[in-house]
Chain A
Amino acid sequence: MTAQTSQDIIIAGVGGQGILTICAIIGGAALNHGLHVKQSEVHGMAVRGGAVVSHLRLSSGSIASDLIPLGAAHIILSMEPMEALRYLPYARRDAVLVTNRNPVRTVAAYPDEKLIEARLKEWPHHVLLDAEKMARQAGTVRAVNSVILGAASAFLMIPEADMRSYLERFFERKGRDVVDKNLAAFDMGRVMAK
């Protein structure tokens, strides 16, 4: 891969899944690493269980738009399989698609899960994770976001060490145990993505 000077990342999921936490950790780590950051978030009505998306843009130079243009995202990061597909129009053809494969079925007619999974696997460069199971193995189901972050870190322009140390800082207030479980979840996600 050629050295990129910028990365556009779509972060998707369902309101309440902690999309903003993922953004805050990648964005914070990027800023510490000396990158410019723009990050468009969703607050308000959709957060009540609706489809939620953040546009996160990292660059060594200045960034113009808060929103990622269609067909421009390098990474699609999703907490939910159908939500990963919803934002494919934002993806470049060579984008990496990293998603949790545990569906949130709280819609009237959730599509056939096998079909969704097949669609995800059609994408040339995909990483599908059973993030819930992995988080439980890491010690807490609440570390799902850290699994996804770990998997994403394999593709981010931010060094792994910076990501880990920012993750550590982010969870510091909650005690050593929480930090360790999240780091373990992060490492498991990263291994799966390699």
Chain B
Amino acid sequence: MKTNLWLGDEAIAQAAIDAGISGVFAYPGTPSTEITEYIQQSAEAQERGIRARWSCNEKTAMEAALGMSFAGKRAVVCMKHVGLNVASDAFINSAITGANGGLVVVAADDPSMHSSQNEQDSRFYGSFAQIPFFEPSSQQEAYDIVLAAFDVSERHGVPILVRLTTRMAHSRADVVRRVDRPREQKPVKFPSDSRRFVLLPAIARRNYAELLGKTRNFEEESEHSAFNVLEEGGDHSVGIIACGIAANYVREVYGSKIPHPMFRLVQYPLPRRRLAKLMQACKAVIVFEDGYPLVEELLRGVGGAPCAVKGRLDGTLPRAGELDPHNVARALGLVSQPAVEAPPEIVPRPPMLCPGCPHANMFDYLREAIAGSPGARVFSDIGCYTLGALPPYEAINSCVDMGASITMAKGAAEAGVHPAIAVIGDSTFTHSGITGLLDVVEDRTAVTVIISDNLTTGMTGGQNSPATGRLEQICAGLGVEPTHLHIIEPLPSNHQSNVALLKRELEYKGPSVIISRRPCIQTGKRSG
């Protein structure tokens, strides 16, 4: 069979197509974006009419996927780790309604925060929802798991979570496709129990009892899962528990033969009996897991574990940051060091706004407009314009989570900060800025909102932005006064008039919105 050089993301995308999905639902976010993009570009997916457009945010994506599952069809939802925070209400409750058509949620974590504001561990969401979840240890396994996960979802009637990390998502390896062509999509078939999805307390209590009853089966499946593998090794002074791709690093640092027994943990909930058996046979175990010490903490309990437990909590591994061959080797007592150091002259090269970026002009205006107001604070948001935090702009005072600019500016204004300015991108505005603006309008708070509209979702590679062509109508519809709703074009030639306009609006003691609109130059290049 033909081998493919696929990213973990692409292996997952093809597996979802091959499993007969009828839709993918997602909002872009590194490192998950390429899953949906692969399906959007796949000829097979197009032929089969698989729906694949971007959703407004992760919550709308999750809910739409649940609707497709309700109708009996298979759906996959993809997001970055923090996206699961946004989708969490729907996600947690989807475990209570259960799934009808197979439902798989893919969350891509970013340990070491290559492109994120934290390194939260989505496995906790799997435990939280009390559903089975998987963390593949190779791209091939990612394919195999997702292909199987829809069956698992339908067999148990629950959604399944697949957790990835940046390394898995963004590394290519040879992957074999297991089927010649995608399975047929499912016909519409409603849940046999017509009240399942109505989470009134009485029904929810019954559903929840059912879910709790199933957790035994989930545990048994983990105990017998072919994905959870114990590799024997003679030296029992240490046992290795390797979660996801950690097993590859262990294999790497030992070369051909690993002297210790190694348990490869891929399927959860925790296979307690098998892990206990390993612990009883070893003097100590080292837990290698990307993200938070979830497994390590469980194995430690409150003491009284059958053997010593080492990992991130006792300093055997760094407490934060992703695993790599270096820290894994050190944890195993092996030598790992560079042959040479990098010369001292090298300076860091952080990312920056592209030359000619429209956000740059906007920041120029803003800096000038607030130069005489030491009390001014700029609450920004997440997107390319977050790079306005770095020199030469140093123009923003906050960046927390998507949509937080407008609402934080509101709270600060209510604390007496003036001018309180929000800077938000068009895609972030439709992701979760709209409701915040409605709060501002409703309370007539003195907040100046600058929507830096580059007509795309720039940071993640230029996906379409649902605000395009309707941004001013949305703001007007929310109740922003026409006299305080402006559109400017961020060009150097408009500098003076734009600064003057900004200054005027900063003085106004009520809600105002300035849409600064010029296309992202990268998007222009791509379509040009």
Instruction: Name A's B-contacting residues (CB within 8 A).
Output: 14-15, 27-28, 31, 36-51, 63-71, 82-83, 85-93, 106-112, 115-116, 119
B339 touches A50 (CB 8 A): no
A70 touches B345 (CB 8 A): no
Q: Is B39 an interface residue (CB 8 A)?
A: no
B173 touches A110 (CB 8 A): no
A106 to B174, CA, bound (A): 36
The 3 lowest CB-CB distance pairs between A and B, nearest first, are A44-B30, A44-B115, A89-B338
B339 touches A37 (CB 8 A): no
B343 touches A64 (CB 8 A): no
Closest partner residue, chain B, to A36 (CB atom): B174
Known: A37-B5, A66-B167. A46 touches B351 (CB 8 A): yes
Instruction: Please give, as numbers and ranges, the residues of chain B lying within 8 Å of A69 by CB-CB distance.
Output: 252-253, 325-326, 329, 336
Known: A27-B172, A41-B7, A50-B350. A67 touches B345 (CB 8 A): no
Known: A41-B7, A44-B460, A64-B251. A83 touches B349 (CB 8 A): yes
Instruction: Please give, as numbers and ranges, the residues of chain A lying within 8 Å of B353 by CB-CB distance.
Output: 48-49
Q: Can you list 26 A-B pairs with a CB-CB distance of less than 8 A?
A: A36-B174, A37-B172, A42-B170, A43-B115, A43-B461, A44-B459, A48-B353, A48-B354, A48-B384, A49-B353, A50-B352, A51-B348, A65-B249, A65-B252, A66-B248, A67-B324, A69-B253, A70-B336, A70-B339, A71-B336, A71-B337, A71-B339, A83-B349, A86-B346, A89-B338, A89-B340
Known: A37-B5, A63-B173, A87-B342. A70 touches B325 (CB 8 A): yes
Q: Is B245 an interface residue (CB 8 A)?
A: yes
Instruction: Please give, as numbers and ranges, the residues of chain B lying within 8 Å of A37 by CB-CB distance.
Output: 5, 172-174
12 more contacts with CB within 8 A, not counting A28-B5, A31-B3, A43-B170, are: A42-B114, A43-B31, A44-B114, A48-B384, A49-B351, A70-B338, A71-B339, A88-B340, A90-B338, A91-B338, A107-B347, A107-B348
| Binary contact track B109-142/A, C-beta < 8 Å → 1, others 0 | 0000011000000000000000000000000000
A114 to B329, CA, bound (A): 37
Known: A36-B174, A43-B30. A64 touches B249 (CB 8 A): yes
Instruction: Please give, as numbers and ranges, the residues of chain B lying within 8 Å of A27 by CB-CB distance.
Output: 5, 172
B352 touches A85 (CB 8 A): no
Instruction: Please give, as numbers and ranges, the residues of chain B lying within 8 Å of A119 by CB-CB distance.
Output: 343, 345
A88 touches B5 (CB 8 A): no
Rounded to whole Å, the gap between the CB of B411 and the closest CB of chain A is: 27
Rounded to whole Å, the gap between the CB of A74 and the closest CB of chain B is: 12
A65 touches B348 (CB 8 A): no
Instruction: Select one of A48, A70, A111 contacting B347, CB under 8 A.
Output: A111
A142 to B520, CA, bound (A): 22
A68 to B350, CA, bound (A): 22
Instruction: Please give, as numbers and ranges, the residues of chain B lying within 8 Å of A15 by CB-CB distance.
Output: 351
Instruction: Please give, as numbers and ranges, the residues of chain A lying within 8 Å of B343 by CB-CB distance.
Output: 85, 88, 119
Instruction: Name B's A-contacting residues (CB within 8 A).
Output: 3, 5, 7, 30-31, 33-34, 114-115, 167-168, 170-174, 245, 248-249, 251-253, 324-326, 329, 336-343, 345-354, 384, 387, 391, 459-461
Instruction: Please give, as numbers and ranges, the residues of chain A lying within 8 Å of B336 by CB-CB distance.
Output: 69-71
A108 touches B391 (CB 8 A): yes
Closest partner residue, chain B, to A71 (CB atom): B339
A67 touches B5 (CB 8 A): no
Q: Quick one: which of B115, B172, B253, B349 has the most chain A CB within 10 A? A: B349
Closest partner residue, chain B, to A41 (CB atom): B170
A112 to B346, CA, bound (A): 10
Instruction: Please give, as numbers and ranges, the residues of chain A lying within 8 Å of B172 by CB-CB distance.
Output: 27, 37-41
A38 to B7, CA, bound (A): 9
Closest partner residue, chain B, to A94 (CB atom): B339
Instruction: Please give, as numbers and ranges, the residues of chain B lying within 8 Å of A116 by CB-CB distance.
Output: 345
Instruction: Select one of B33, B167, B252, B337 contacting A40, CB under 8 A.
Output: B167
Instruction: Select one of B115, B168, B171, B324 contacting A39, CB under 8 A.
Output: B171
Rounded to whole Å, the gap between the CB of A118 and the closest CB of chain B is: 10
A37 to B168, CA, bound (A): 14
A92 to B340, CA, bound (A): 8
Instruction: Select one of B174, B324, B354 contacting A49, CB under 8 A.
Output: B354
B5 touches A44 (CB 8 A): no
Rounded to whole Å, the gap between the CB of A51 and the closest CB of chain B is: 4
A110 to B346, CA, bound (A): 8
Instruction: Please give, as numbers and ranges, the residues of chain A lying within 8 Å of B324 by CB-CB distance.
Output: 67
Closest partner residue, chain B, to A45 (CB atom): B115
Instruction: Please give, as numbers and ranges, the residues of chain B lying within 8 Å of A92 by CB-CB distance.
Output: 339
Q: Quick one: which of B5, B30, B337, B341 has the most chain A CB within 10 A? A: B5
A66 to B346, CA, bound (A): 26
Known: A31-B5, A49-B352, A66-B248. A82 touches B346 (CB 8 A): yes
Rounded to whole Å, the gap between the CB of B363 and the closest CB of chain A is: 15
Instruction: Please give, as numbers and ranges, the residues of chain B lying within 8 Å of A46 by CB-CB distance.
Output: 114-115, 351
A28 to B460, CA, bound (A): 25
B33 touches A43 (CB 8 A): yes
Instruction: Please give, as numbers and ranges, the residues of chain A lying within 8 Å of B352 by CB-CB distance.
Output: 48-50, 106
Instruction: Please give, as numbers and ranges, the residues of chain A lying within 8 Å of B350 by CB-CB distance.
Output: 50
Rounded to whole Å, the gap between the CB of A144 and the closest CB of chain B is: 17
Q: Quick one: which of A46, A66, A69, A85 has the most chain B CB within 10 A? A: A66
Known: A48-B353, A66-B173. A93 touches B346 (CB 8 A): no
